[in-house]
Structure 1
Amino acid sequence: MKAETVNRTPLSTDRVLRAAVALADQAGIESLSMRKLAHELGVVPMALYKHVANKDELLDGMIDVVVGEIEPLRPGPDWKSVVRRRILSARTVLLRHPWAPLAIEARLDATPAILDYLDSMVGALRDGGFSTDLAHHVMHAMGSRMLGFSQELFDTNRRAGRSGTTDPSPPTGFPAEAAARFPHLAAIAGAAAHDDTSVVGSGCDDQFEFEFALDLLLDGIERLRQQGWTSH
């Protein structure tokens, strides 16, 4: 019955990509296959290849669908507010699609939507009074944070290559033996106090930590802009 109902809607590239995004959201990018996607759409697997040449092209299209959900750039007189607002919009989108950061990192080449997004962000910097030289170095300094996510030092899920959210109830401190061996790490682990209402729950990769680092970068970058900094 499901296949009959679904097949009344013609298959299109957009429909294929959005169905793939939904499947990845539900079960993670690792579980996505052309066969499972075809079953979800109520078609035979070969029907998908009229719209995507292979799984790599499917993943590129999925990334572009996700990036397309980020709010458009809103020009304004304060470059920091413009850039910060859009980065936090990107973060909100990627939190809805926890597989997306790993997929973005895994691609050898940036997709058209990512290139367009980054181009517009460089444009916002240039409109804010940045030289091409400073804008270049800012993009390097920001790294993946410009796209709303960061490669966290203590996020073992991401370092292990797994998508999805981390354990919602991580240990709040070190075992006594480990604390004795690594006292400084134990101290900061015990000092961590995260807001339970954080959009990503407790832990180190939460909204507070992301915004804390983002604001440090933006404030430092603004000082360089005011000083007319150049690498030459």
Structure 2
Amino acid sequence: MPRRPALSHDRIIDAAVQVADRGGLAQVSMRNVGKELGVEAMSLYHHLAGKDALLDALANWIFTRIELPEPRQPWRQAMADRAASARATLSEHPWALGLIESRRSPGPALLRHHDTVLGCLRGNGFPMTLAAHAFSAIDAYVYGFVLTELNLPFDVDSAAEEIVGEIGEQLSPDLYPHLAELVAEQVMHRDYAYGDEFEYGLALILDSLESRLASDDPSD
């Protein structure tokens, strides 16, 4: 019988990710993670203090999956690339949305991520106040967009015309003229996919930041 690999912190976190991916964060417990590894829950306590430590480690793990900018990389492309990476990671692991900013004991990957993003902005001439605003606005946009994508009643990677067409039948131009116009002009017969909105919306935020940075008082 093949020998089971030795238990380690990294193996425990990988198993916790598998549990969360299948059943959501509510299913993550020392018992369920132990079961995933084929060991008793008590064995995990040699590597983690308990469930809180496990959740802290999961939040930290997510930040190891998000692309970091180079400190001297031009800020606009760096922020666009990081936003796209964060969107992909959070879409793949939707349980992380409510976890990553809620932990009171941030891990080294989380701290390095935040410090590197701020460092890239600061290195490109952002005053700290504007860098903080930029970080907050971009992340709020990414998290909100992912949350919307995850809850749409259709596959975001395919055309939404069929579902939106059903809704459109209820949109009387007399009662809802602007919604009817939106469906007719922007969705129907245009291979519309909601995910295509991501880059456009992100560009609006980056345009505003670029304008603020170029102003006389970018911290305003």
Q: Calculate the TM-score normalised by the size of structure 2.
A: 0.78
C-alpha separation in 1, matches of 2:81 and 2:145: 21
Structure 1 stretch displaced more, 70-79 or 18-27: 70-79
> In the TM superposition, what are the counterparts of 1:21-100 in structure 2 within 5 Å?
21-100=17-96
- The offset of 1:56, in angstroms, is 2.3
The structural deviation recorded for 1:98 is 2.2
Distance 1:16 1:77, change over 3 A: closer
Q: Distance in 2 between matches of 1:186 and 1:153?
A: 25
User: Would the alpha carbon gap of residues 153 and 47 (structure 1) be closer, same or farther in structure 2, given more than 3 Å must change?
Assistant: closer
Judging changes above 3 Å, is the alpha-carbon distance between structure 1 residues 109 and 78 closer, same or farther for their aligned structure 2 residues?
Answer: same
Check whether the contact 1:134–1:229 (CA below 8 A) recurs between aligned residues. Answer: no
From 200, 204, 220, the counterpart of 1:212? 200
Give the drift of 1:141: 2.5
More displaced stretch, 186-195 vs 214-223: 186-195
- Mapped contact 2:87–2:146 kept (Cα < 8 A): no
Residue 184 (1) aligns with residue 175 (2)? no
Structure 1 pair 116/11, CA: closer, same or farther in 2 (3 Å)? same
Distance 1:74 1:39 in 2: 40
User: 1:24 touches 1:31 (CA, 8 Å); kept in 2?
Assistant: yes
Q: Contact (CA 8 Å) 1:76, 1:82: kept in 2 or not? A: no
Q: Deviations over 1:15-37 (max 9, x none)?
A: 10111112212332233332221
Q: Within 2, Cα distance between the matches of 1:186 and 1:54?
A: 53
How far 1:69 moved relative to its partner?
1.8
**Pairs aligned (count):** 210
Counterpart contact for 2:67–2:81, Cα < 8 Å: no
After superposition, the Cα gap between the structure-2 partners of 1:77 and 1:103, relative to the gap in structure 1 and judged at 3 Å, is: closer
Contact 1:25 1:97 in 2 (8 A): yes
**Of 210-219 and 89-98, the range deviating more from structure 2:** 89-98
8 Å CA contact retained: 2:59, 2:103: no
Instruction: List aligned pairs for 1:132-151, cutoff 5 A.
Output: 132-145=128-141, 149-151=142-144
Distance in 1 separating the partners of 2:84 and 2:149: 23
1:155 aligns with 2:153: no
Question: Is 1:172–2:164 an aligned residue pair?
Answer: yes
Identity %: 33
Q: Provide the rounded CA distance (Å) in 2 between the counterparts of 1:47 and 1:91.
A: 35
Partner in structure 2 of residue 111 of structure 1: 106
Q: Distance in 2 between matches of 1:72 and 1:155?
A: 24
Deviation, structure 1 residue 97: 1.6
CA distance in 2: counterparts of 1:52 and 1:167, whole angstroms: 39
Counterpart Cα distance in 2 of 1:166 and 1:102: 21
Deviations along 1:101-145, one digit per CA (max 9) or x if unpaired, are: 13225x253723323212211111111111122212223322434
C-alpha distance in structure 2 between counterparts of 1:178 and 1:103, whole Å: 38
Segments of structure 2 that go 5 or more residues without pairing to the other structure are: none
Equivalent residue for 1:162? none
- Quick one: structure 1 residues 62 and 77, their matched pair in 2 at CA, closer, same or farther if it must change by over 3 Å? closer
Counterpart of 2:97 in structure 1 is: 101
